[in-house]
């Protein structure tokens, strides 16, 4: 792959049964971006956690995951992969995110965003109440 940046877009129902397909695509695209095996596994785990957050937290009120979808946009270049996980759920105020400290293991489901930050080189979260959420994650090949 040259210095060019490829873009791949996927839209899937916001249901856990589609997470395996998302992981498979993420792994294939990570290899295409010339990331190492460990880096590809880290991206797959981080994307899985971000998508799991969509299925568990994004949709409130009349919207349910059965009726809603999530969009993933992959940007690939030689040695770098950026993934955007986008939902049109209820959103939240990012100021309410906890600092990046490791939550107690007894808090089930509390490791998602912590893991995303630990596994990726860059993470940005864009959200607002009523406006959905976009998680932007970048991984670079180790030198």
> Using one digit for the tens of pLDDT, what is the confidence trace for 90-126?
888 877 776 555 555 545 455 788 899 999 999 999 9
Q: What is the pLDDT of residue 101?
A: 54
Would you kindly state where each structural domain of the chain is located, as residue ranges?
A: 6-140
pLDDT higher at 82 or 90: 82
Q: What is the pLDDT of residue 59?
A: 76
Q: What CA–CA distance (Å, rounded) separates 68 from 83?
A: 20
Residue 115, helix vs strand vs coil: helix
Q: What CA–CA distance (Å, rounded) separates 137 from 122?
A: 6
Q: Domain 6-140 class? A: alpha beta
pLDDT higher at 4 or 102: 4
């Amino acid at each position: 792959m040259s210095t060019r940046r490829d873009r791949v877009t996927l839209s899937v129902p916001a249901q856990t049964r589609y997470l395996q397909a998302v992981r498979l695509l993420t792994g294939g695209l990570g290899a295409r971006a010339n990331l190492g095996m460990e880096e590809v596994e880290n991206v797959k785990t981080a994307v899985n956690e971000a998508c799991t957050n969509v299925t568990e937290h994004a949709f409130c009120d009349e919207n349910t995951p059965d009726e809603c979808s999530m969009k993933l946009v992959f940007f690939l270049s030689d040695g770098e992969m950026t993934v955007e996980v986008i939902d049109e759920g209820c959103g939240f105020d990012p100021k309410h995110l906890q600092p990046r400290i490791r939550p107690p293991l007894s808090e089930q489901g509390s490791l998602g965003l912590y893991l995303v930050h630990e596994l990726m080189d860059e993470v940005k979260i864009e959200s607002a109440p009523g406006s959905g959420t976009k998680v932007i994650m970048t991984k670079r090949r180790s030198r």
